[in-house]
Structure formats: structure tokens, C-alpha cells
Structure 1
Amino acid sequence: MKNIAIVGLGYVGLPLSIRFCQSDVKVIGLDVNKTQVDKLNSGKSYIKHISSDDIAPIVDQGLFEASTDFSRIEEVEAIIICVPTPLNKYREPDLSYVLATGRSIAPYLNKGTPNKLVVLESTTYPGTTEDELRPILEEGSGLTAGKDFHLAFSPEREDPGRTDHSVKTIPKVMGGYTQVCLDKCVALYSKALDAVHPVPSCRIAEATKLTENIFRSVNIALVNELKVVYDKMGIDVWEVINAAATKPFGYMPFYPGPGLGGHCIPIDPFYLTWKAREVDQHTRFIELAGEINTAMPDYVVSKVSDALNAEKKSINGSRILLLGIAYKPNVDDARESPSYVLLEKLETRGAEVSFNDPHVPEIQPSREHPDLAGRKSVEITDDYDCILLATHHDEYKSFNFSKFKCPLIDTRNCITNTPSKYYKA
């Protein structure tokens, strides 16, 4: 396959587009955001950790073109869907982006190149590809999956900001609706990636992605719980984890934080929790992990309260500087960031909260926190009642806080040049 379309040009779709183009596969990138499409066509990136130097050459060479016109599906041999799969306010799966994409591409599956391949990469519950997406594609195209077009699921494994692994080097799991569908999927990704791992079905591939992120969620919940318990005992959990990590077998270090963030770990486990109810199963372990992780911002707020109380102040009326809006260090990705929750909880209790983030100069609109959109990053100064560090950006690790007089609460154990009033949370 030499011509493909990738739907959704965000943190997953854009790096994947670049990788295919670098393997001499022509990519039409489809997205509904015209501003982003125009920027990409001018050779510019709108995601901080993705360099324009990787985009400009593939645009100049004619290997990549972004578009809002879904009729261009006619021109390609394969379509890869990389759109969001969030939770709604009831923590139920929201497949609206996936299903809307299916409706948009279905009318063009029977035009141009025959036997097109459709691959879903968006994380979802087992059965989505076959039971939800397939009927929409068949109805909209008049074709039959496995016969007139091919269908597969291959979950994304993108980790924004990571440098030790890449789209090219991370093994790709994939399952097909039929064996021929799987063979087509393997052939496609083998053009651009170092290793693929075929599995017997779409459902197994879907379950694989959920298992990976449930593993992380449960283990993060464990160390978050240990943090609270050890704190009551006067034990530094960070010292415990570092010591345990010296064991060369049977242990893998996970680290506590102020809550979960990102597009995967806070969301994906609940896709399985919701689906499990259909088969009369209750995922108590997963739900308990979710409860622990969701409660961490309250624990952090209590630590802020303790630090202010030591200054004979309360949260109500205090000026607080929040360090970090991104959910992970050194990227501009703020999806599901616990910093939003911390900010809102502190303001609900009467604090005046400002934020600094060298990677997020302005808070962008989001479904969960629309009222925060438009707020801008401020400078780091000592002119606050306290400072709360939520994201361990490199800029904060090297910043000299040693002469600051206000208390600093560090939720990531990352500050080197600490002030005299330094607290871990």
C-alpha cells in the first residue's frame, strides 16, 4: 500500500503520519480542525514535542497533505482512525468520535481503490471494532467487511515526550476481523514499523490495550495508597521506592503523584469496567484503583492546607502558584491533567490560584474544564502564600527555589534547590 489516510492529526495520528511518510508511504491526513490542517500544510507543527523539522520535508516532498475533505478517502488504499475516545460525565465510554468518523468515511469505501483496509487505533472496549464500527461502515458503503473491505484493530502505544522509544521501534499489536484482514494490516504496518505482533482477533487486540493501562493504573494506585500510609508513619515513600527498585527481579518501580492524567490511564480502565457489566462481572480491583487515584488531589489539597496552617494562614484568601498544567513532564499535553482538578479544588476553597507552565502558555478549551480556558502562565516569583508543584518539568528541577520564603509543596519529589519551607505531598 502506497497511499493511506490517517483520520485525526493529534498526539497519535500526527506522529504516525510522519513515520509512514518517512517510509515512502503517501499520507492524506484528515481532521476537522481547519486551523491545524492549514498549519500542517505550511510545514509547521502545532504540538510542541513534534518538530516542524519532521513535517516540512514530507510536505515539500509531496508525501503528506492535510485536509478536511473526507471524500479524499477515494484516493487511498487504507484508512487509519486515530480519534479520541473519552468518557462522558457518567464515566461511560463515549464512542461518538469513532462512530462519526465511520459515518464520514463509509460512503467512499466503495470508490477508487477496491478492498480498502480500515484500521481503528483509538482505545476502546472489546467488541467495538466488530460490533459498533463494522455495521456503520457496512451500512454507509453497501459493502461487507471481510469480503469487500478489510477491517482491523491496532491500538496506539504513543507516549508523548518519550525519547527512548518511538513509533518506529514500539512493537505494534493488531487483530483482524478475518485472517485476510489481519494479513493486510500486518503488511501495512510492516512498511513503517520495526516489529508487529498479530493476535487472533480484534477483541484480543482491544483487550491488550486496556490491560496495559489497567496494569499502570492499579500499580500507581498502590504507591499512591502507600504514600498516604507511610506519610502517617513518618516514612518517605520516595526513599522506599528507590530502595525497592534496587532489587533486580520481582519488582518494578511506580511513582505516586497528585492524581492521574493523560488520554489513557485515567480513562481506559473504565472502558473495561463498563463492558464487564454486560457479562455480569464486577471489576472491583480496577474500580478501587480508580477511587484511590481520583482521591489524590484531595490529599494534596490537605497538604497545602497543612503548609499554610504552619504559616497561620488558610487556603481561603491565600495566593497560590501552581507549577505545571501538563499531565506529564516536558510536553504541552494537558489532557485529563490532575492540575485542573487541583486548581478548581483550591479555588472552590477560596484561594486565588495562578499557574506557571513553560510548555502550556495558555490553557486550551476542554470538555471537562471549560471555565479555565484562556488563563495564561505567569512568572515564578516568591510573591505567593505558597507554591504547589504538580508537574515535574525539567525547568522546575533546575530552578533555584533555595531563597524563597513561602512554603513549597512538591508532589513529584523533583525539586533539587529546595526552600527552607519544603513539603512533599
Structure 2
Amino acid sequence: MTEHHPAKTADQTAARTIEVSVLASLDQIAPEIWDACACPEAADGGRAIDPFTTHRFLSALEKSGSVGDRTGWTPHYLTAAVDGETIAVAPLYGKGHSQGEYIFDHNWAQALENAGRHYYPKLQIAVPFTPATGRRFLTRPGFEVAGMSALVQGAVQIAADNELSSLHATFCTEAEAIAGEEMGLLRRTTQQFHWVNEGYADFDGFLAALSSRKRKTIRKERAKAQEFGGTIEVLTGDQIQPEHWDAFWMFYQDTGARKWGTPYLTRRFFDLAQDVLRDDILLVLARRDGDYIAGALNFIGRDTLFGRYWGCIEDHPCLHFELCYYQAIDFAISRRLSRVEAGAQGEHKLARGYLPTPVHSLHWIADAGFGQAVARYLQAERAAVNEDIEVLTAYGPFRKSQMEEHQ
């Protein structure tokens, strides 16, 4: 694939030419230039809305070998510039499979292959292995419309010029999904389960909003989890030490081997996380008889806690619920965060206060006939997802008056 591909679009706000280029490595762009587009809200030293599109996070994936050669995630980072000044960027990857995406298109791939066409390779605007909603078309303030338009046009042109089957932007914001649809992309709606902070003073305040039966169940689960015979450590920033990553790597390998066959992240990624990401991270670890036996890894955004990975080397009843869901709620309440995104899938989260929430993606299909078929599928899928969200929300754990507020 072409590593430098200039494309020109008209900036309607200033009638200037925007040049879109492709970078093979984040080493080719200064962190401050990338982050001026990815997280301008953090320019004052505060937190990014989410850390996943920051230069430090994406660079850690690349430098650790978690993406790159032989991973099926080949970096082709997009940049858009006006008169040599970068106004927009996007994390773009060439994909040789559909693993680590969490917006599932395996059926699309099979259908196209059955028709005698190749679905792979394809292009993906995404954060690898990270089903967390956030901006995917990253623009400097004031260039939102022109920057996204340039990135979309540039990515589509690259896909077309290289005769690729498709382009996908996954876990984008709703605003991006709407804007992308207006540009001619296909909009997809799926769902996750998120916990929303309604201004609770503490965990008991959250429990008070639940039905009596669900409240009792959660209290029993939390009590049962404590019977594992050890202590729970909640660590962030400089509290996190290399020994904690040694332990978590064992947990991560166990989960990765069972779910994916091969873990997505390399051991080197966690070393880099200790160096450049620990202020973005919340580790919740269970320790028994001096050894760590289970843990959950979360990332901290400006207003959201993002649950990412869980693993263990010992099985104990309800410990997974405690480390992944209840400790996350505790932390969010204490930090006055608005929500917890607990990752992909999992209707079991509903009983624990995590409600179904729509998530969005955008798609471009090269073959017109196949694209029309996908468009019909997405329309039916969107109606089914919306109905599913409505039904699941009604069966949520909150008291009736609280459920009416959520609907």
C-alpha cells in the first residue's frame, strides 16, 4: 500500500487546499502536533477525554509490536494539512483479518468471499483492540467539518486506489456517525453496556436507586467476593509498579489464550504503559497470601472510566464482578466521573447497573451491489438494536421511577 498518498479537498470555510498524507509510523509526527488534534482539551495539562487516540497510547501499541508486521494491523496514519500546518489526523490501519475490532463483520467477509471477491485486506480507522467510543476523525478546534471531510475523502481514495474492499471507522462518536452518513458512508448502530453516574454520593447511594431484589443481590455478590481470603488494591499513577505488570501479564495471557488464542498486546506494551501511560490507568488487583491472583485494567478519561482487561490465575465466586464492575463504580463515584464503559458485549452487566447504550461505526464498501446489500442489512439491524435497547432497559435493575428517567 502507498505510504504517502496526497489527496486534495476544498476547505469550504477558507477556500484553501487540504493535503492528506499517510505516515507509516507515529515517529514521523511530533507528539504535540498529533495531540493538538487528538486531545486539544488536554492542552492545559488536564486529562484527555479518552487516552486511546493520544500519541502516547498509539505509539505504545506500535513500539511494543502489538500492531505492525505479522499482526494484521499495519499502520497508515492519516494527516491533513493546510499550508503545511496539520489540522486533522486519524489512526488508520490496513487489516488482514477482523480480529480485535469488536464491531463484527465476519458475515460480510464470508458473503463477499462466497461471491468470488476478496474482503481482505481492508482499511480500518480505529483504536486497535479497544471497543471504547471516542473521536476517530481527530481535528484541531475550528477545523471539525473540513478536517473530517478531508480525512474521509483521503481514506476512501486510498482504499479505491489500492483496490481494497472497504473502509471502516469503528466506535466513532454519534456526531461523527451522523456527519459520515451525510458524506455518503454507511452508518451502523450496535450496543454496549455502560454505567451512568446520576450524582450518587457513594455506592450505597447507587444501590438505593435499584429495586430491592437487585440491591440485595449486589450486596451478596460483593460480600461473596470478599471471601476469597485476601485484599483488593486499587492503584493508579505512581502507585503502579513494575511488579504489578508482572502479575497482570499472567492474568492477561490467561484471558487472551482462552478468548483469542493469542493475546493481542505484547509484554512490551505493559512496560511502556508503566513508562508513559500509568497516569491514565487504574489497576484493581486481588492479592492473597502475598501473591496477586486476579486483576482488572481500566483507563481513565476526563469524564469516563473505561474497563478494558480482566484476568485471573485462581477462580473465586463473584471476584470478577467485584474487580471489574463494582470497584469501577466505586472509583467513578469517588472521582465524580459521569460513566463507566465496561467494554464489549455482556448482558450479565445489566443486572449490575450497566444499561444498554448505542455505539456507532461508519463503513464504505467499494462494490456498489454489495454496498447496497450491506445498507439494507444495517437498516434492519439498527431497528432491531433500538428495540433490543428499549426492552433491555425496561428489564434493568433500577426502581421503576429510576427506569422511567433512563428511558
Question: Same fold judged by TM-score > 0.5?
Answer: no
Q: Which has the higher strand share?
A: 2
Q: TM-score by structure 2 length?
A: 0.27
Higher relative contact order (CA 8 A, sep 6+): 2
Q: TM-score by structure 1 length?
A: 0.26
